[in-house]
Chain A
Amino acid sequence: MCLAVPGRIESIEDENAVVNIEGNRVNAMLALIPEASVGDWVLVHAGLAVTLMSEAEALETLDLMREKYAVEDE
């Protein structure tokens, strides 16, 4: 239930952002990180961006996750 995935903010309208997660566009609310801006990497959980990440942190997390799902898919 506590899964969260990194993605990059593509656009922002009020408190709501469109976040690109591995090519999928999802809506995420920015109420917890009001300082976020377009181009930032964020960690998304249950429709909510919960923290900012650096690009390196986000890419490292995605790398680890990709490896996991590659194994899962086998």
Chain B
Amino acid sequence: MQSKTSDIFSREIAACRELAAGLPRRVTIMEVCGTHTVAICRSGLRNLLPKEIRLVSGPGCPVCVSTQGYIDACIELAGRSGATLATYGDMLRVPGTKKSLAESRAEGGRVLVVYSALEAVAYAAAHPGEQIVFVAVGFETTAPATALALRDARARGLSNFSALFSHKRIIPAMKALIAAPDLSIDAFLCPGHVSVIIGPEKYAEIAATGRPCVVAGFEGADVARAVRMILEGIASGRAQVENEYTRAVKPGGNPAALKLFDEVFDIVDEDWRGIGTIPESGFAPASDFKCFDAREVHGVKIISAPEPAACRCGEVVRGAIDPEHCALFAKACTPAHPVGPCMVSREGSCSAHYKYARQVAS
């Protein structure tokens, strides 16, 4: 039975085909959200769109954009006596230089999987004899929970909770990719739940470079509709910010979350796998919250480390290549035996391409 949703999906694809026929040249649309990467692969959208439209995945998977040095620092912390690392489950199997967190745990390292940063604080309060270090990764969607966790830890007067920050801000990354000479991105599918927090207006500076920005929801029909909106923009020569995901994304974003960012975080330069340091692309605890910064509390050093041999995750996260262009893809590197983070995380491009029919956007 044909459902209402698949009707919408088919109709949007047909509209995209029609619009693509009138395009003067091939267009490249980048999505910068790992959940969109999964939606695109799962829905088969890449294969259903005409070849004039190239969908390419950008740095949208928090696990994948964390540097090798950061992963190694997490693993080193988990092995310290008296320390417990609290992490989102996605990080467990990412290969560090010597091992993964899961392997460290098997060797006796203490690793606690949490659903929320707030859970890590509650655990710390209940276990005063342990030093809890929360692995603070993710974009603006996840960052408010970390901010609240720090505020909660302060209210409880905890001295056994800290966070190892690698939080990322998406817009500086988009600007860095626009400036990269080897990438030519014509438009962006903007992340839905990041935009719930920051508000769609923030993409205006990206759109001002002539690249349409459409905030999209997470189902195939949402993404197909957003692609159609982008193509309409390109066809009519206008580049503006539009919001496809009006169900959840409201003008101005979430004011309480933005206020919390100002109160708890400083904006800092941040290192990204495959991209390097991007100015103002990260969060770190503000001066009042430095007592919860694991780098200071535990003297953690992030030591830069090379990517796994032959692994091209660095190029995958910046959209320079598709997963299929990596010689390891689906051969030496599979979800069962991942070499790089993009094959580990469910939201990683390599994992999504592998799982959903290995679609090649050539």
> Which A residues contact B (CB, under 8 angstroms)?
1-4, 29, 31-34, 43, 45-48, 50-51, 53, 57-58, 60-61, 63-65, 67-68, 71
Contact = CB atoms under 8 A, between A and B. Distances in A.
9 interchain residue pairs of minimum CB distance: A47-B116, A57-B247, A64-B219, A2-B141, A2-B193, A46-B116, A32-B256, A46-B145, A48-B145
A45 B5 contact: no
Given A1-B347, A2-B139, A50-B141, A64 B5 contact: yes
Nearest to B221: A64
A65 B247 CA distance: 13
Given A1-B345, A43-B248, A47-B119, 19 more contacts: A1-B141, A1-B142, A2-B33, A2-B35, A2-B142, A43-B196, A46-B115, A46-B116, A47-B116, A47-B117, A48-B144, A48-B145, A48-B148, A51-B248, A51-B254, A57-B247, A60-B247, A67-B5, A68-B219
A30 B123 CA distance: 20
Given A1-B138, A4-B193, A46 B117 contact: yes
Nearest to A28: B116
A31 B256 contact: yes
Contact of B144 (A32, A67, A71): A32
A74 B60 CA distance: 27
User: Most chain-A Cβ atoms within 10 A of its Cβ — which of B90, B119, B191, B257?
Assistant: B257
Chain A binding surface, main DSSP class? mixed
A31 to B, nearest CB: 6
Given A1-B34, A29-B148, A31-B148, A47 B115 contact: yes
A31 B257 CA distance: 8
Interface of B: 3-6, 33-35, 42, 61-63, 88, 90, 115-119, 137-139, 141-142, 144-145, 148, 191-194, 196-197, 217-222, 246-250, 254, 256-257, 260, 345, 347
Contact of B248 (A47, A61, A71): A61
A67 B148 contact: no
B5 A48 contact: no
Contacts of A68: 42, 219-220
Which residue among A33, A48, A57 has the maximum number of chain B CB atoms within 10 Å of its CB? A48
Given A1-B88, A64-B222, A33 B148 contact: no
A45 B192 CA distance: 12
Nearest to A3: B35
Contacts of A29: 118, 148
B212 to A, nearest CB: 22
A60 B217 CA distance: 12
B236 to A, nearest CB: 28
A3 B37 CA distance: 13
Nearest to B257: A32
B144 A50 contact: yes
Given A2-B35, A64-B219, A45 B247 contact: no
A11 B187 CA distance: 43
